[in-house]
Amino acid sequence: MKRNIAVLQGDGIGKEVTRGAVEILEAVAQRYGHDFEFQYGEIGGGAIDSTGSPLPDETVEICKNSDAVLLGAVGGPKWDNQPAHLRPERGLLKIRKDLNLYANIRPISYYSSLSESSPLKKEFIEDVDFVIVRELTGGLYFGKPSERVEKEGKEAVVDTLFYQKSEMKRIIELAFSLASERKKKVTSVDKANVLESSRMWRETAEEIAKDYPDVILEHMLVDNAAMQLIKNPKQFDIIVTENMFGDILSDEASVLTGSLGMLPSASISTNGPNLYEPIHGSAPDIAGKNLANPIGTILSAASMLRLSFGLEDEAKAVEQAVETVLEYGLRTGDIANGQPTITSTSEMIAEIKANL
């Protein structure tokens, strides 16, 4: 199989971790007889420095011409005081819109070998296995107006939470179709006791549920969801929610199992290439020190193999190799939890490759 992969390394540890994923993808190609070509594009702070834009047109072109996009991470203190339109994160928001990445999928899974690193007691997180499906191109993130206004002569400001019903439909449908292949339960999170948009969301979920008689639909208010994630995360299978609630809840969920550095994500496009990236940020404090955990990005590459290329065996092989090195006890600093020997980024990559 021949595939073009766009690689956007970004800032901070982005370079190190994407390098790891590319090495693993190359090893997979060799082993299974595929031909993966990699095209590199700039995004984030580095792109601002070299082109004046956090997402140059050239990068968008490279992505549109690819079969899938691999992203590292963006941002760093150097760009923290820039005006809003020259911030690295703008590159992320823009690529989501430009590639129509309407759904962000984040599996939260428990690694028994890592329970020590979790803030939660083992009995609360053991066997946790759920997926957050976050709407990614609507809501407060893109609604207009978003501006300063004067009201009765006083300074004020407005942001807008806007959704088309069709945008709700497609993401909720995706959630149901994922649930029907898993534990058959969708928890739709909203704030229907306050927001009109949430009431439309809830109705839409009810409508779609009719097409999936074997999947249970449950509604949960966002404040309660923020509690339930901590009190009883095992209850969840698929959580689906709008953009801002999803931003907050998926970050909350990512620290439950103590394995933030290991969590992958996939952003699904309506019509073009999907984008795969780890959940963690650019970690400027450890950038370039060979300390970053490459597993989140390597598992994102595994998702790419599965979801974009349909290469289930290859995806499983990568995931299995990761499990194996963890069982050996290899740990980068973020998951070492006091263990004396720490594995470097490059060793971790080499070991995963060796265990493919």
State the catalytic residues: 141, 191, 223, 247, 251
In angstroms, give the least distance from the CB of 327 to a second copy. 23
Is 77 flagged in the annotation as binding? yes
Q: Shortest approach of ligand IPM to residue 6 CB, angstroms?
A: 18
- How far apart CA 241 and CA 103 sit, in angstroms, is 10
Query: Which residues within the stretch 159-188 sit at the binding site for a second copy (CB under 8 A)?
Result: 159-166
Taking only Cα atoms into account, the Rg of the chain, rounded to an integer number of angstroms, comes to 20
In the complex with ligand IPM, the residue whose CB is nearer, 73 or 125, is 73
Instruction: In angstroms, give the least distance from the CB of 36 to ligand IPM.
Output: 25
Angle at 203 between CA 206 and CA 163, to 5 degrees: 125
In the block, which residue shows the tokens 């809830």? 202
**Contact by Cβ (8 Å): 5, 304:** yes
The backbone torsions φ and ψ at residue 287, rounded to the nearest 5 degrees and listed phi first, read -60, 140
Q: Which is nearer to a second copy, 72 or 139 (CB)?
A: 139
Residue 181: which of a second copy, ligand IPM, none does it interact with, CB under 5 to 8 A by kind? none
Query: Does residue 231 interact with a second copy by CB under 8 A?
Result: yes
Residue 316 near a second copy by CB under 8 A: no
Q: Give the nearer residue to ligand IPM in terms of CB position, either 89 or 126.
A: 89
Instruction: Using the CB atoms, write b or e for 293-328: b if 16+ within 10 Å.
Output: bbbbbbbbbbbbbbbbbebeebbebbbebbeebbee
Residues 30-69 that bind a second copy (CB under 8 A): none
- 81, interface contact from a second copy, ligand IPM, none, CB < 5-8 Å by kind: none
Per-residue contact flags (x/-) with a second copy for residues 101 to 140, judged by CB under 8 A: -----------------xxxx--x---------------x
**Cis, bond preceding 145 (omega within 30 deg of 0):** yes
Q: Structure tokens of 162?
A: 């806007």
Site residues (vs ligand IPM, CB under 6 A): 89, 92-93, 193-194, 223, 247
49 assigned binding-site residue: no
Q: Are 136 and 168 a contacting pair, CB within 8 Å?
A: no
Helix (H, G, I), strand (E, B) or coil at 35: strand
Number of CB atoms found within 10 A of residue 85's CB: 9
Kindly list the distances between the CA atom of residue 261 and the CA atoms of 13, 20, 23, 117, 275, in Å, as whole numbers in the listed order.
11, 14, 18, 11, 18
285 labelled binding-site residue:
yes
Q: Does 287 show up as a binding residue in the annotation?
A: yes
| Nearest to 45, CA basis, from 17, 19, 7, 73 | 73
Q: How far is the CB of 281 from ligand IPM (least distance, A)?
A: 8
Residue 211 contacts a second copy per CB under 8 A: no
Within 10 A of 18 (CB to CB), how many other CB atoms are there?
27
**Span of 35-43, 57-65, 155-163, 298-306 interacting with a second copy by CB under 8 A:** 155-163
> Which positions touch a second copy (CB under 8 A)?
84, 87, 89, 93, 118-121, 124, 140-141, 143, 146-148, 151, 154-166, 191, 193-197, 199-200, 222-224, 226-227, 229-231, 244-245, 247-252, 254-256, 260
